[in-house]
Structure 1
Amino acid sequence: MKKWAVAVAAILLLFTGCSNSKETVKKPVNNEKSDTNQANKPDDVVKADPYFYPLTGIATDTKPDQRAVAVMVNNHPKARPQSGLNKADIVYEILAEGNITRFLAVFQSEKPTNIGPVRSARVYYINLAKGLNALYIAHGYSPEAKKLLDSNYVDNLNGMVYDGTLFKRSSARKPPHNSYITYDNILKGAELKGYTMKGSPPAFTFYSVEESKSLTGQEAKSVSITYSKDGTFNSKFQYDETLGKYKRFSAGEQTVDLETGDPILVDNVFIIEAVHKTIDAYGLRDIDLESGGKAYLLQKGKVNEVEWANKNGRIIPVKNGEEIPLVQGKTWVNVVPTNPGLHSSISFNVQ
Structure 2
Amino acid sequence: MKKWAVAMAAVLLLFSGCSNKGKEKVQEPVKKEKVVEKVEEKEQEKQEYPYFYPLTGIGSTTETDGRAVAVMVNNHPKARPQSGLNKADVVYEVLAEGDITRFLAVFQSERPENIGPVRSAREYYIELAKGLKALYVAHGWSKEAREMMQANYVDNLDGMVYDGTLFKRSKTRKAPHNSYITYDNILKGAKQKKYSMKKSPSSFTFMTEAERKNVTGNEATSVKITYSKGGISDSVLKFDSTVGKYKRFSGGEQTVDLDTNEAVLLDNVFIIEAVHKIIDSYGLRDIDLQSGGKAYLIQMGKVNEVEWANRNGLIVPMKNGQEVPLVQGKTWVNVVPTTPGIETSVSFNVK
Aligned residue number for residue 65 of structure 1: 65
Counterparts of 2:315 and 2:155, CA distance in 1: 20
Aligned residue number for residue 105 of structure 1: 105
Aligned residue number for residue 323 of structure 2: 323
| Cα deviation code 1:149-202 (max 9, x no counterpart) | 111110000000000000000000000000000000000000000001112110
1:47 shift after superposition = 7.6
Give runs of aligned pairs for residues 332-347 of structure 1, distance below 5 A. 332-347=332-347
1:302 paired to 2:302: yes
Counterparts of 1:65 and 1:57, CA distance in 2: 13
Counterparts of 1:69 and 1:45, CA distance in 2: 30
Give runs of aligned pairs for residues 103-182 of structure 1, distance below 5 A. 103-182=103-182
Give structure 1 stretches of 5+ with no counterpart.
1-43
Contact 1:45 1:52 in 2 (8 A): no
Aligned residue number for residue 190 of structure 1: 190
1:49 shift after superposition = 4.3
| Cα deviation code 1:279-316 (max 9, x no counterpart) | 11111100000000000000000000000000001100
Aligned residue number for residue 235 of structure 2: 235
1:247 shift after superposition = 0.2
Contact 1:218 1:302 in 2 (8 A): yes
Larger radius of gyration: 2
Q: Go from structure 1 to structure 2 and tell me whether the alpha carbon gap of 1:274 and 1:315 turns closer, same or farther (over 3 Å shift).
A: same
Contact 1:220 1:350 in 2 (8 A): no
Contact 2:289 2:310 in 1 (8 A): yes
Contact 2:224 2:350 in 1 (8 A): no
1:45 shift after superposition = 10
1:95 shift after superposition = 0.1
Counterparts of 2:328 and 2:290, CA distance in 1: 25
1:50 shift after superposition = 1.2
Aligned residue number for residue 271 of structure 1: 271
Aligned residue number for residue 88 of structure 1: 88
Aligned residue number for residue 31 of structure 2: none
Counterparts of 2:111 and 2:170, CA distance in 1: 20
The residue identity in structure 2 corresponding to 1:234 is D
Counterparts of 1:123 and 1:131, CA distance in 2: 13
1:253 paired to 2:245: no
| Cα deviation code 1:207-243 (max 9, x no counterpart) | 0111110011001101101112122110111100111
Structural RMSD (CA): 1.4
Contact 1:244 1:300 in 2 (8 A): yes
Where 2:186 maps in the other structure, the secondary structure is: helix
Where 2:133 maps in the other structure, the secondary structure is: coil
Aligned residue number for residue 224 of structure 1: 224
1:62 shift after superposition = 1.3
Counterparts of 1:252 and 1:60, CA distance in 2: 36
1:287 paired to 2:259: no
| Cα deviation code 1:115-161 (max 9, x no counterpart) | 00000000000000000100000000000101111111100000000
The residue identity in structure 2 corresponding to 1:173 is R
Where 2:192 maps in the other structure, the secondary structure is: helix
Identical aligned pairs, as a percentage?
A: 73
Where 2:96 maps in the other structure, the secondary structure is: strand
Contact 2:85 2:257 in 1 (8 A): yes
Aligned residue number for residue 348 of structure 2: 348
Counterparts of 1:84 and 1:185, CA distance in 2: 14
Q: Which runs of 4+ in 1 moved over 6 A?
A: 44-47
Where 1:271 maps in the other structure, the secondary structure is: strand
Q: Go from structure 1 to structure 2 and tell me whether the alpha carbon gap of 1:118 and 1:350 turns closer, same or farther (over 3 Å shift).
A: closer
The residue identity in structure 1 corresponding to 2:153 is Y
Contact 1:82 1:258 in 2 (8 A): yes
Counterparts of 2:188 and 2:53, CA distance in 1: 24
| Cα deviation code 1:70-110 (max 9, x no counterpart) | 00000000000000000000000000111110000000000
Contact 1:45 1:51 in 2 (8 A): no
The residue identity in structure 1 corresponding to 2:132 is L
TM-score (norm 1): 0.86
Counterparts of 1:246 and 1:253, CA distance in 2: 14
Counterparts of 2:191 and 2:65, CA distance in 1: 17
1:350 shift after superposition = 7.3
Counterparts of 1:102 and 1:287, CA distance in 2: 14
The residue identity in structure 1 corresponding to 2:252 is G
Contact 2:73 2:102 in 1 (8 A): yes
